[in-house]
Amino acid sequence: MADPGTAFAYRTLPERIDPSRNDSTIWSFALMPYESGTNVEHSYVISKFPSAPFKAFYGRVLPQHRDMRPQMADTLQSLRRQVS
């Protein structure tokens, strides 16, 4: 989904063969003018959770699955480069 200059979203698709990647998430970004720049609002909806053993594994081994703030800074910098 995309509304140029206003919003975009995408969905990660479950992997059919690899059971460790059988989840799916919808990632959304809304862009709103703010002062001399743009405010970016990010949200996500998990549409299919990973299997229980993988969910626990991800929480331990991949801390970014519990706290996305550090990765969000990288995402915002990438967006800034794309629109500058």
CB 35 within 8 A of CB 28: no
Calpha distance 82→48 (Å, rounded) = 30
> Strand pairing partners for 27?
10, 44
Beta strands 24-34 and 2-3, pairing class: unpaired
CB 42 within 8 A of CB 75: yes
Domain around 45: 2-83
Task: Please list the pLDDT of the chain residue by residue as tens digits (84 residues).
Answer: 888 889 999 998 888 887 777 888 899 999 999 998 888 898 888 888 887 777 777 777 777 767 777 888 888 888 888 876
The model's pTM is 0.71
Q: How many domains does the chain have?
A: 1
